Amino acid sequence: MKRIAIIGSGHLGQQIAYHIHHDSSDKVVAFFDEFQPLNTIIDHIPVIGGNRDVIAKYQQHEFDAVLIAIGYKHLDAKKELFQNLEGKVPFHTFIHSSCYKDQSASIGQGSVIYPGCVIDQNVKIEDNVLMNISCTVAHDTVIGKHSFLSPSIAIAGFVKIKEQCIIGINSTIIDNITMAAKTQIGGGGVVIKDIDEPGLYVGNPVKFVR
């Protein structure tokens, strides 16, 4: 059994803890949260400090590995936290047992793959990515670091999504697309050509909004 700490005790952190507890032998033993008082108990899990306490608590053997549960509205903070901890604290990688992951695919450290996802041949999911329920990623696609994939996304083959992208629920990305870092695709968006400039894109096919 591995003892996991989660940074962020809100709904996302609670969901991830739920899946870990119900789908693995590992145990979430602590939350870190800047906005909760020390020793607050959330779903039977104590808050043992804020973000600055993570390294010290690891050195005190309070936990074995950490996950970052920060939502899509704060990806800069998620990236900064990851970079501050990388090489100092081990990251946990969680892949729900209901997922299909081809043996040739790779999942980076600190990434979380929710139930029902399909990860095809030669797919590369980089570090600190969250993939929500029932996403499909086809062959030879790369999902960049610190990205957030909402439920039921379909991504075709040979797609390159660069870091800190947000893909909205039920979006579709056709094959051979490259997407600039910090791109956001609104819910139901259909991407049919490369996106070279960061920003919010919505519609079918998607168009730049801001």
Determine whether the annotation assigns residue 144 to a binding site: no
Determine whether the annotation assigns residue 189 to a binding site: no
Helix residue spans in the chain (DSSP H)? 11-23, 54-59, 75-85
Q: Distance between CA 21 and CA 125 in Å, rounded?
A: 23
pLDDT band at 136 (very low <50, low <70, confident <90, very high): very high
- pLDDT score for 194: 98
Strand 166-167 relative to strand 148-149, pairing: parallel
Q: Distance between CA 45 and CA 180 in Å, rounded?
A: 38
Q: Distance between CA 96 and CA 192 in Å, rounded?
A: 30
- pLDDT score for 113: 98
At 189, list the tokens: 């968006």
> 22, 44, 92, 139: which is the annotated catalytic residue?
139
Q: What is the mean pLDDT of residues 65-79?
A: 95
Determine whether the annotation assigns residue 199 to a binding site: no
At 50, list the tokens: 């804020």
- pLDDT score for 74: 94
Of the candidates 122, 130, 116, 111, the residue with the CA atom closest to the CA atom of residue 65: 111
pLDDT tens sequence across 85-126:
999 999 999 999 999 999 999 999 999 999 999 999 999 999
- pLDDT score for 169: 98
- pLDDT score for 19: 98
Q: How many CB atoms lie within 10 A of CB 91?
A: 17
Residue in this structure with the two tokens 């029902």, named with its chain if needed = 116
pLDDT tens sequence across 26-47:
999 999 999 999 999 999 999 9
- pLDDT score for 143: 98
- pLDDT score for 102: 98
Q: Distance between CA 142 and CA 156 in Å, rounded?
A: 11
Q: pTM of the full predicted structure?
A: 0.95
Pick the CATH number of 3-85 from 2.120.10.90, 3.10.580.10, 3.40.50.20, 3.10.450.50: 3.40.50.20
Q: Distance between CA 152 and CA 198 in Å, rounded?
A: 22
22 given a catalytic annotation: no
Q: What is the mean pLDDT of residues 12-38?
A: 97
**Sign of the CA dihedral with 5 first, then 10, 16, and 19 last:** positive
Percent of the chain with pLDDT over 70: 100
Residue spans of the domains in the chain: they are: 3-85, 94-197
- pLDDT score for 117: 98
Cis peptide before 37 (omega within 30 of 0): no
Mean pLDDT of the chain: 97
Q: Let me know if domain 94-197 sits in CATH 2.160.10.10.
A: yes
Q: What is the mean pLDDT of residues 149-162?
A: 98
